[in-house]
Amino acid sequence: MTKTNLRYSFFLFLILIVANVQSQSRYFAEIGAFGGGTFYLGDANKTPFTYIDATYGGFIKYKLDKRYSFGLQIAGGKVRIPSYENFAAAKTPFVDVEATAEFNFFDFGYDRLKSLTKRATPYIFIGVGCVAYNKKAAFTIPFGVGGKFKLSEQFNLGVTWSMNKVFDDDFENIDNPRGLNKGVLINNDWYSKITLYLSFDFWQYCRTCHSGLKK
């Protein structure tokens, strides 16, 4: 190979590196939709992953960095309630809203030039929420685990398993059937969501903009 060819190859290599670095963009926000199933745990059902019914919803997140983010989510669906003692089988429609804080175990991103940045990571989250059901509402504490994978620079695919502690005891229309002295903090009602989501990153960081944000 001649010196001229070597020179051209070197400049081409530099151009490819610069183009690749510029394409590794950071995005402050993420929006997505999910679908899956929900099951209930309480007086009428003690076995996880049984009596599952459909759930669906959407979310938006603000990313502090590659590890931490805050999200707002809305979901709807039904939980199946099996027959219990003198109570017939039924379904409880619900709508919930959750605000959560999320932590990725690895630096999550699409930057192939940084060895610490991973296209896949497990994560955990916890938050506060509210669920509307049976013409009433109750506070909840959602928490759970998940995994996510970058399909491309802006598209993500993920799976989530959450548990929701309901601060009431009639989510299934069965309010303390045995007359136990349980109180607001000690009750039987939980519900769990297992979902698959697709999301899109937006609100791009701009290295050359004065504000740091691309308009």
The Cα–Cα gap between 71 and 61 comes to 4
Q: How does pLDDT run across 44-99, given as a tens digit for each residue?
A: 888 999 999 999 999 999 999 999 999 999 999 999 988 877 778 888 899 999 99
Measure Cα distances from 182 to 151, 169, 175, 177, 178 in Å.
47, 9, 11, 11, 10
The Cα–Cα gap between 111 and 114 comes to 6
**What percent of the chain shows pLDDT beyond 70?**
75
Q: Report pTM.
A: 0.78
pLDDT value of position 72: 97
Using an 8 Å Cβ cutoff, are 15 and 167 in contact? no
pLDDT value of position 19: 41
Domains annotated for the chain, with CATH where assigned, are 27-204 (2.40.160.20)
Higher-confidence residue of 33 and 184: namely 33
The yes-or-no verdict on residue 12 having pLDDT over 80 is no
pLDDT value of position 18: 41
| Mean pLDDT across 35-44 | 91
The yes-or-no verdict on residue 215 having pLDDT over 80 is no
Average pLDDT, the chain: 82
